[in-house]
Amino acid sequence: MVSFNKIYANLKEDQVEIKEFLIMCVLSILQTYANKLKSGWEIVLHLIDFALDEKTPNLNIMANRVIFSLIFFNCIIVFFYHFLMKFHSKDAENHH
């Protein structure tokens, strides 16, 4: 993940297509491996910060999509966890 930040930070302002491609790659990685991304979160957040600072609206939109995906993914995990805990506690009551 460090490579993404290094590449993005060294791109020129007019290399928007490459920046967009990097953001799409990060979004794809997050959608597939978010639950396994340990120390890479800081790098992802820096990359999103870079994109949000851009003057190109499309990069801002893409960065916001990544943020939305992170929130959505985490909300699903929290909801599923609460559902399992509720189901588990009802199941435990039925066995006593």
- How does pLDDT run across 41-51, given as a tens digit for each residue? 788 888 888 88
- How confident is the model at residue 31, as a pLDDT? 80
Q: How far is CA 60 from CA 67, 74, 91, in A?
A: 11, 21, 46
C-beta atoms surrounding 11 within 10 Å: 14
Range of 11's domain? 2-94
Burial of 51 (0-12, 13-18, 19+ CB in 10 A): buried
- Structural domain count, the chain: 1
75, pLDDT greater than 70: no
Do residues 20 and 8 touch, judged by C-beta distance below 8 A?
A: no
55, pLDDT greater than 80: yes
Tokens representing 75 are: 């909300």
